[in-house]
Structure 1
Amino acid sequence: MADERKWDIEVIDDLFDDRDSALIKRTPLSIHVNIDSWYWLLDGKGDFTVRSCYRRLQGECSDDHSKLWKKIWAMKLPSKVTHLVWRLCKGCLPTNAALVMKHVNIEAGCPWCHREAETSVHVMFLCDFAKTVWLTAGMAHLVNCFSYETPSAVLQKVFEQGTKDQCVEIAMLCWSIWNRRNRWVWDHVNGSVFGVKNIATHLLREWTEAQIKEESRKIRGEVGDRVWSPPPTGWLKINIDAAVFLDGTIGVGAVIRDDRGCFIGA
């Protein structure tokens, strides 16, 4: 009761259990007598806005998270790796623990160590296999965390403390660890620690080389995809293609078009 600066004992005892009731009653009251009012925590002025609500539902309500999303999408990585890291931070990975929360009838335990529930932070950073991967890669100090931390908090720390190259390598290893996990769960194919690291390194190298070639092609003004060009006026053009199949048979095809691109025959 604000006007009398004391708790409404009857209401507290009616709404809360004995433990919570006792804790509330021990909470000191303000020396100022203020009238209670509604305040929206996600807005600086305390006013509710649809925008702040939408950002909250998207998990992007804080400036820290907004910066994290920008850093993730700004990294020069294969799109499937960037998407995996984003899903990891958003808590969207279909780990066993996450599927159990959605009422899927499976065991929540980790398919590798069988000792802890398979949460996102466990499979990526805390499982014995994952810890060995990070230790071998020399990144253990950057991804060191506790089970109660979220993946977004772990990667936020990585972006703050690690170099750009370290952030890229950690993202690649996250993708490779998840890839290895899926191969074990679905195909019962077991991969080694060095295999996980090599796959990540190889994928990044191939993607980087492809980007360099693409950039070089753009600089030279080359056209990436071949485009059909018409023959001189009054002429016909025949485009042919052939294929050899595994059973030894051969297929041949041809298309005839005129100088206007109109189909003549095949």
Structure 2
Amino acid sequence: MKPNTLLNRVLRARYGDVLWNGIYRNNPSSTWKIIQNGADFLFPVLRWSISNGEYVDTFKDIWILDKTLDKWSTFVSIIENNYNKVSDFITNGSWDIDKLKFCFGKLLIDLILSIPIHSSQPEDKMECIKKISGKSVAAIIYEKKFNAISEDETYKWRKKLKLKPKIDMFWWRISKNSIPTFALLSYRRLINHEGCPRGCLDTENTDHIVRRCFFINKVFKLLEEWNFGTPEFDSVEDCYQVLSRLANINPFLGNLICSVIFYCYKSRNQLIHGGCDDSCYVIAYRAVIQSISSFKNGLIRENWNANQLFKLSKSSWLPPPLGWIKVNVDASIFLNNSTGIEGIFRDYKGRGLAAFGFHTIHWDIAQKELLAILSLRDLIKDWMLEAKGEMIILNAEDLKKNGLVGDRAMT
């Protein structure tokens, strides 16, 4: 800029000294509109080089790393409006530590103290954030502008998978790289470590919380034992490709993968905030129940508003009375004589409380149905006996056909 030119002096007298404040007056001139439009595009890719801090807004301008303070996930405490300019924190050409301590935390203070003050400059100047990127300023502006407004490529498959709102929001945040992983918090100078809180010898980034954590691998392995085979992937981008494909051919399995990763991350948050990490079994059955309920057909309104679960008709499953716990058991047999026995405990609202399943080798489905019922002796817990009652509904068509059980439920 040339401060002594006639145009410069006229614009400064009418619109002020700071070009970057974004203030628009009534009926501005065409010249000012063009300059202001260019400033709007330049502002996100420039940062301030501090001289005296008089032109730099503490919270709305970029002078620490690559973001303004009002867009940071950070710790700032402002009690009075006396620190709106960076110059308020500078005394005799150096940072005033006492004033910094009044407003910022220790980590931010250390970061601010590392910012040089160019006392030789007559005033604060703007400089490009990416100095050695090899790109022109126009290319940097284009990348910054249009990446920010690019179409959400995950929206289509997220919609097809019928994710619950909280899970859908979680995956949208992953697509925007806004999950506060330890790697992201360390980059923002909020913590001084990047390792996984579960003890993995790996950096906790987005790829880690999606697949690379050993805990998530254990949950997926458990689901494979329950005959929920999931495709292999190793990163977020690979996961997007898998979910996009499953959205068209098997949306239930895609929903299950999203639910597992969500509940693993939720359990991780419990752990770092002083709670306990949920077990693999708890997360697995929560994810299965969540995915089933995502494909519900409606509500049974005359039965305490219990959810009508996926592929279950009103005549095949009804919720138990208020305060009761209901368990459904079943068995299946494959052509190679591999049999699977499974069951699930639910409350009067249809919410899953516990689930079980195991494999055996046998040829008679009727005997396996009976074994499924007898296995409850070892699976019923003390807290279940505190319910008002316990109802066992048998989904055992072979037993009924053979006359081994009646049409009424065993209670």
Q: Deviations over 1:138-175 (max 9, x none)?
A: 37752421xxx4x2442223322562221111111111
Cα drift, residue 205 of structure 1: 4.0
Distance 2:231 2:168 in 1: 19
- TM-score, normalised to structure 1's length? 0.52
1:127 paired to 2:216 = no
Task: Name the Cα RMSD after superposition.
Answer: 3.7
Q: 2:169 — aligned with what? A: 83
User: What's the offset of the Cα at 1:89?
Assistant: 2.1
Task: Kindly indicate whether residue 200 of structure 2 is the aligned counterpart of residue 111 of structure 1.
Answer: no
- After TM superposition, the structure 1 = structure 2 runs for residues 164-183 of structure 1, keeping only pairs within 5 Å, are 164-183=251-270
Report the count of equivalent residues.
Answer: 166
1:159 paired to 2:159: no
Larger fraction in helix: 1
Q: In the TM superposition, what is the alpha-carbon distance from 1:106 to its structure 2 partner? A: 3.7
Does the Cα contact within 8 Å between 2:167 and 2:259 map onto a contact in 1?
yes
Q: 1:191 to 1:214 in 2, by over 3 A?
A: same
1:13-28 map, 5 Å? none
8 Å CA contact 1:142–1:158 kept in 2: the answer is no
Q: Would the aligned equivalents of 1:125 and 1:143 in 2 still touch at CA under 8 Å?
A: no
Q: CA deviation at 1:55?
A: 4.2
The amino acid that maps onto 2:158 is I
Q: 2:147 matched to 1:56?
A: yes
Determine if the alignment matches structure 1 residue 189 to structure 2 residue 276: yes
The percentage of aligned residue pairs carrying the same residue is 16
Greater strand fraction, Structure 1 or Structure 2? 2
Unaligned runs of 5+ in 1: 1-15, 17-37, 42-47, 218-266
Residue 144 of structure 1 aligns with which residue? 233
Shift of 1:109: 0.5
8 Å Cα contact 2:200/2:213 also seen in 1 = no
In the alignment, the residues of structure 2 paired with residue 212 and residue 141 of structure 1 have an alpha-carbon distance, to the nearest angstrom, of 28
1:208 Cα deviation after fit: 4.7
Q: Secondary structure at the match of 1:187?
A: coil
TM-score normalised by the chain length of structure 2 = 0.35
Comparing 133-142 and 98-107, the one that deviates more: 133-142
Instruction: Name the SS of the counterpart of 2:273 in structure 1.
Output: helix
| Deviation (angstroms), 1:107 | 1.7
Q: Is the 8 A contact 2:252 2:292 kept in 1?
A: no
In structure 2, runs of 5+ residues without a counterpart are 1-131, 306-411
Q: CA deviation at 1:179?
A: 1.0
What is the correspondence of 1:249-260 to structure 2 with a 5 Å cutoff?
none
Cα separation, 2, equivalents of 1:115 and 1:86:
27
Give distance in 2, aligned partners of 1:81 and 1:103.
Answer: 28
